[in-house]
Amino acid sequence: MASMNLDCLETVFRFKVNIDSLEAGEILSPEIKLSKLSWKIKLCKQMSDDVNFLGIFLVCEPPSDIGIAKWLCNVRVVFKLLSFASTEKEIIRLFSKKEFNQECLSHGVGEFCLWNDLLESKNQYVRDNEATFEVEILTNPLNCIKMMEIEQMSVKLRVVVENVSKLGNTYSPEVIVRGIRWRIQTRKEDEHFAVYLWAIEEDMDMNWCWEVEYSFKLLSFNSKIEPVDCKTTSDVFRWGTPSWGYGKLIKWSEFMDPKKRFVRNDTAIIEVKFAVKSPKPLWECEKNPPKIASALECSICFEKFCGREILATKCGHLFCGDCIYRSIEDRQKCPMCNATAVVQDLRPIFFSW
């Protein structure tokens, strides 16, 4: 049987921090497993020249099996403090080519931002006593143990396909992005080498969809041979359509050509990069909106439903969300038939086509 494993190269994720807890002492993010090393983000309030700052650091916790032997990992990190007002007010700090080793396990920015700027209401960095950070980490590949279970949005992987001569429908280990498990599938298809990105349907709500940007790159073991590099593609993944990719990435004869060296010791390597956008209602993700949604309109405001929230009353009449909420608040009746209506009975409507 053919098999696959993964090397994790980079990832982007978000996490929230409670401001009261940060006031009380340093905070560590959930653990991240990346390139066979454990990583955490440390945040702390600290003082410099009688001025309080927010400090942010990337901390490495190498596993015990690395031992005392020499090791190093060059890392590029982008820290972002997100504003609830707009992306223009993001605070961004970048450091690149920082070396982590047994003697140096932490790098970061001690004066990431003024503490008063963090709390300033006009900046809107804090909502409900929480601040949101986004972190991008890129490491040199060693080995990936597992992915983090936090709000991960994108990932770059190196997929190692083994036993190519016996290749069937072969799946990689799973990675978690946007709360959904994803796998890479490779197979021989119509005398071509095929590769697909698969979402696990059990993790997907039938009423929602996810737009994904992805790319595949087949690497050669000969550095002088250009990789087979498909352009970045965007497709909509949803329940019932959980996979997209390339059925004809490269002809099988060219793939197996010893001069090309895409296969060595019955092994091939693919680099996969994909980013998953926030989920949307099913009809919003389609390239062509449903005709029925374009034709129907709200009987209160007379605006087309397409692109708007659609709600149904218990008596079965459809209205846009804003209108029916206001109407029920004023009259507690359906505007069409005067049947009793309450907010709790409203149900969202999604058009399928």
**Residue 31 within any structural domain of the chain:** yes
Domain boundary pick from 82, 112, 146: 146
Domain boundary pick from 146, 178, 195: 146
pLDDT at 14: 83
Residue 146 confidence (pLDDT) above 50: no
User: Can you tell me the mean pLDDT for 61-88?
Assistant: 74
Tell me the pLDDT band of 353, cut-offs 50, 70 and 90.
Answer: very low
**Residue 4 within any structural domain of the chain:** no
Tell me the C-alpha distance between 13 and 86, whole Å: 19
Full residue range of the structural domain in which residue 85 is found: 10-146
Higher pLDDT, 127 or 291: 127
Tell me the C-alpha distance between 139 and 63, whole Å: 16
Cα Rg for the chain, rounded, in angstroms?
A: 25
The amino acid sitting at 275 is A
**Residue 1 within any structural domain of the chain:** no
Tell me the C-alpha distance between 229 and 202, whole Å: 31
The verdict on 270 and 293 lying in the same domain is no
The verdict on 265 and 166 lying in the same domain is yes
**Residue 46 within any structural domain of the chain:** yes
CATH number of 301's domain: 3.30.40.10
The verdict on 171 and 283 lying in the same domain is yes
The verdict on 140 and 14 lying in the same domain is yes
CATH number of 28's domain: 2.60.210.10
Mean pLDDT score of the chain, rounded to an integer?
82
Residue 343 DSSP SS3: helix
The verdict on 204 and 333 lying in the same domain is no
Of the listed ranges 44-53, 161-170, 279-288, the least confidently predicted one is: 279-288
pLDDT at 140: 62
The tokens describing 244, both together, are 């997209």
pLDDT at 150: 47
Domain boundary pick from 266, 287, 308: 287
Of the listed ranges 126-135, 144-153, 180-189, 299-308, the least confidently predicted one is: 144-153
Residue 213 confidence (pLDDT) above 80: yes
Residue 20: how many other CB atoms lie within 10 Å = 9
The verdict on 202 and 169 lying in the same domain is yes
CA-to-CA dists, residue 280 to 180, 236, 242, angstroms? 14, 10, 15
The tokens describing 176, both together, are 């978690």
**Residue 307 within any structural domain of the chain:** yes
The verdict on 247 and 298 lying in the same domain is no
The number of distinct structural domains making up the chain is 3
pLDDT at 220: 92
**Residue 3 within any structural domain of the chain:** no
Higher pLDDT, 87 or 154: 154
Residue 164 DSSP SS3: helix
The verdict on 270 and 281 lying in the same domain is yes
pLDDT at 9: 66
pLDDT at 81: 92
CA triple 136-139-144, angle to 5 deg: 105
The verdict on 101 and 186 lying in the same domain is no
The verdict on 95 and 158 lying in the same domain is no
**Residue 200 within any structural domain of the chain:** yes
Q: CA nearest 216: which of 200, 196, 199, 198?
A: 196
Residues with Cβ within 8 Å of 41's Cβ and at least 6 positions away in sequence, in order, are 15, 28, 29, 56, 57, 58, 59, 79, 133, 135
User: Can you tell me the mean pLDDT for 127-131?
Assistant: 90
Region of 16 (left: φ > 0; alpha: ψ -120 to 50; beta: rest) is beta
The verdict on 157 and 279 lying in the same domain is yes
The tokens describing 13, both together, are 């994720």
Of the listed ranges 142-156, 271-285, 311-325, the least confidently predicted one is: 142-156
Tell me the pLDDT band of 284, cut-offs 50, 70 and 90.
Answer: confident
Residue 88 confidence (pLDDT) above 80: no
pLDDT at 57: 94
**CB-CB contact of 251 with 280 (8 Å):** no
The verdict on 174 and 70 lying in the same domain is no
Residues with Cβ within 8 Å of 148's Cβ and at least 6 positions away in sequence, in order, are 11, 13, 30, 31, 32, 33, 34, 176
Tell me the pLDDT band of 254, cut-offs 50, 70 and 90.
Answer: very high
**Residue 302 within any structural domain of the chain:** yes
